[in-house]
């Protein structure tokens, strides 16, 4: 169950338990009166309502998976009956305070204040009916009415705060749920900005991200209700600064754009009001024109990275709105950071894969085709006087072309995306090992400690790609005769070890992925694939005696 749903149900559970308790307290107060002839009707009513409360408590316990509870109107009617029938207001206090809290939870503080006012007036009316409005009785009655109002309002405020807290938790849970790695950055940002705009009753929301590495500013703009693919605007750094308001510590709201501009804001770190509010007229006065806006800053690695805007609200923004936007953006910071980090990792992985393909084509097929061209030129020159030699040479060239065609076919096959699920991973690895033995002539031992790997499909897909690329690299570069691959899994991680007896890398020793990055060594694509699923690569190399790759991927 989501945390926000659990919070709301916790409040309802508290009220269901408190209801029979307050009925018992009211009954105890009536018993203390020792006037059974005056309170018999009220006692009967309270006893019946106590039974109903216990039944409701039992039903709510059995219907945990359903949204069911006793309507607040029933509690209000019961309170009205008690006010009318009870011989003493002492027995009414407990149900009244319960209903004040329940009203704050269900309907909000405004309705709770109305309830408190009505009850306080009822206290004065009872005093008038009993003839207690002489000067001393009047003071007592007014004091009781004031105490009733203050006590009920206080409990109503607590209930309202609990309701608002649960509602905000629900919104934040929906907001963070929009950011999903699987659906990609564009769709995640579209859903996130759409959710923000709807929450603050705005038709437009923007996200502005400053990429210091590229010295660019990216702008995503969403209009509520539109589901088209979100494409960012790519702005030069100097132009994008106007969207950042030249102050990445300012949280600002404006409720006007011309004439008497009405705005407020504060420093997000010190919470001190801003003496001069930044006004983003140049950047945001485009199409569509804005009438009001509110903006807060999100961070990455503790540093300001960009802004979120909501524009053109149907009502003026308030300080509480800006505080809620700040809290929302603070919650969004970590998932946004992960999304941007994954985007960079994927870009680096794609770049590394393209570099590998370029090297393979340049060092393999391209060199062979150049060699074929030179040999054909030589044969062309020999053809008039040495037909037999030319025929033999052409046959050799034909075999070379066949070999390169097969190599190119393997390369194209390796570039195709592979659908890998946890149930298929071991079988796919065994099938590839068999084909690899037949194609390369290398000995391959595949050792797996279980028939099936229990891991997310995304992890299994990257594991298979790493395994396949590691074997292909060994065939092309290591000059090995034997490879041992071990795949193991425990409760916390999956480990893939690829061990060969070839030439090894140019360096000696054991190096982690970060150390390989600093030294610009090791298989780039394998490092990035491991990182995209939260894993790590360790390379152990002994030049002339082989190398070992260890890939560890956590499952928690």
Q: What are phi and psi of 36, to 5 degrees?
A: -60, -30
CA R_g for the chain: 37
pLDDT band per the 50, 70, 90 thresholds, residue 538: very high
Question: What is the pLDDT at residue 495?
Answer: 93
Distances (CA, A) of 479 to 208, 403, 417, 473: 51, 19, 28, 10
162-190 average pLDDT score: 77
Pick the CATH number of 182-346 from 3.30.950.10, 2.60.40.10, 3.30.450.40, 3.40.309.10: 3.30.450.40
Q: How far apart are CA 172 and CA 164, in angstroms?
A: 12
289 vs 549, higher pLDDT: 549
Confidence (pLDDT) at 526: 87
pLDDT at 266: 92
- pLDDT-derived band at 354 (thresholds 50, 70, 90) equals low
For 230, which DSSP code?
P
Under the banding of pLDDT at 50, 70 and 90, the label for residue 482 is very high
- Please say if the pLDDT value at position 486 is more than 90: yes
For residue range 416-426, what is the model confidence (pLDDT) as tens digits? 555 666 677 88
Q: What mean pLDDT is reported for the chain?
A: 78
Q: How confident is the model at residue 181 (pLDDT cuts 50, 70, 90)?
A: low
Range in 369-383, 433-447, 516-530 with the lowest mean pLDDT? 369-383
% of the chain exceeding 90 in pLDDT = 11
**Pairwise CA distance, residues 135 & 128, whole Å:** 12
The pLDDT > 70 percentage for the chain reads 73
Long-range contact pairs involving 187-191 (C-beta distance under 8 Å, separation at least 24) = 187/229, 187/230, 188/339, 189/220, 189/222, 189/230, 189/339, 190/220, 190/222, 190/227, 190/229, 190/230
> 419-556 in CATH: which number?
3.30.565.10
Tell me the per-residue pLDDT of 188-216, one tens digit each, with 9 for 90 and over: 888 889 989 998 999 999 988 887 766 77
- Is 133's pLDDT higher than 90? no
Q: Which residues contact 387 (CB under 8 A, 6 or more apart)?
A: none
pLDDT band at 143 (very low <50, low <70, confident <90, very high): low
How much is the pLDDT for 1? 37
Q: Provide mean pLDDT across the span 8-27.
A: 75
What pLDDT does 500 receive?
94
- Answer whether 265's CB lies under 8 Å from 253's CB: yes
The pLDDT confidence band at residue 4, using thresholds 50, 70 and 90, is very low
> Are the C-beta atoms of residues 504 and 515 closer than 8 Å to each other?
no
Task: Let me know: does 311 contact 284? Beta carbons within 8 Å.
Answer: yes
CA distance 502 to 473: 11
CA distance linking residue 144 with residue 514, whole number of Å: 71
Average pLDDT over residues 400-420: 65
Euclidean distance between CA atoms 243 and 260, whole angstroms: 22
Q: Flag whether pLDDT at 475 surpasses 50.
A: yes
All CATH 3.30.565.10 domain ranges of the chain, comma separated, are 419-556
- pLDDT of 335 higher than 50: yes
- Check pLDDT > 90 for residue 499: yes
**Beta-ladder partners of 550:** 497, 538
Residue 88: DSSP 8-state: -
Q: How far apart are the first and last CA of the chain?
A: 19
Highest mean pLDDT among 80-89, 193-202, 216-225, 254-263: 193-202
Sequence ranges of the chain with CATH classification 3.30.450.40: 182-346
């Amino acid at each position: 169950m989501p945390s926000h749903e659990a919070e709301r149900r916790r409040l309802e559970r508290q009220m269901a338990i408190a209801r029979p308790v307050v009925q018992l307290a009211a009954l105890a107060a009536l018993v203390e009166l020792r006037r059974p002839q005056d309170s018999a009707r009220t006692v009967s009513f309270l006893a019946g309502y106590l039974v109903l409360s216990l039944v409701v408590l039992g039903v709510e316990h059995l219907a945990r998976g359903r949204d069911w509870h006793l309507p607040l109107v029933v509690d209000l009617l019961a309170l009205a009956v008690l006010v009318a029938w009870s011989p003493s207001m002492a027995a009414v206090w407990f149900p009244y305070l319960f209903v004040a809290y329940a009203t704050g939870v269900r309907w909000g503080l405004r309705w709770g204040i109305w309830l408190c006012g009505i009850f306080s007036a009822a206290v004065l009316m009872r005093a008038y009916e009993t003839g207690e409005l002489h000067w001393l009785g009047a003071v007592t009655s007014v004091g009781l009415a004031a105490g009733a109002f203050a006590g009920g309002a206080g409990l109503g405020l607590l209930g309202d705060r609990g309701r608002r807290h649960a509602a905000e938790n629900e919104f934040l849970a929906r907001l963070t749920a929009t950011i999903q790695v699987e659906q990609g950055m564009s769709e995640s940002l579209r859903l996130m900005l759409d959710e923000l705009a709807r929450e603050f009753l705005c038709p437009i929301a923007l996200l502005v991200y400053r990429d210091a590495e590229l010295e660019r500013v990216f702008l995503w703009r969403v209009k509520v209700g539109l589901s088209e693919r979100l494409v960012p605007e790519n702005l030069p750094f100097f132009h994008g600064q106007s969207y950042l308001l030249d102050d990445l510590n300012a949280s600002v709201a404006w409720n006007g754009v011309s004439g008497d501009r009405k705005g407020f804001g504060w420093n997000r770190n010190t919470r001190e009001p801003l003496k001069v509010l930044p006004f983003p007229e140049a950047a945001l006065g485009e199409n569509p024109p804005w009438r009001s806006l509110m903006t807060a800053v999100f961070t990455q690695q503790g540093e300001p990275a960009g802004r979120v805007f909501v524009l053109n609200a149907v009502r003026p923004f308030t300080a509480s709105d800006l505080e809620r936007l700040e809290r929302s953006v603070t919650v969004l910071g970590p998932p946004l950071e992960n999304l941007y980090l994954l985007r960079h990792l994927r870009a680096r992985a794609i770049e590394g894969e393209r570099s590998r393909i370029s090297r393979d084509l340049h060092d393999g097929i391209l060199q062979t085709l150049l060699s074929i061209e030179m040999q054909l030129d030589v044969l062309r020159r020999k053809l008039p006087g040495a037909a037999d030699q030319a025929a033999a040479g052409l046959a050799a060239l034909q075999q070379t072309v066949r070999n390169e065609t097969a190599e190119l076919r393997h390369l194209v096959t390796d570039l195709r995306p592979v659908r890998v699920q946890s149930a298929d991973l071991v079988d796919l690895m065994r099938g590839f090992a068999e084909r690899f033995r037949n194609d390369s002539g290398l000995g391959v031992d595949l050792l797996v400690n279980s028939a099936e790997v229990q891991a997310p499909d995304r992890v299994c897909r990257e594991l298979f790609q790493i395994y396949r690329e590691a074997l292909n690299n060994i065939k092309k570069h290591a000059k090995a005769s034997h490879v041992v691959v071990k795949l193991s899994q425990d409760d916390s991680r999956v480990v893939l070890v690829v061990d060969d007896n070839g030439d090894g890398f140019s360096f000696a020793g054991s190096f982690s992925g970060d150390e390989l990055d600093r030294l610009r060594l090791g298989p780039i694509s394998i490092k990035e694939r491991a990182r995209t699923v939260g894993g790590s690569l360790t390379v152990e190399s002994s030049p002339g005696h082989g190398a070992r790759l260890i890939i560890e991927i956590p499952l928690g």
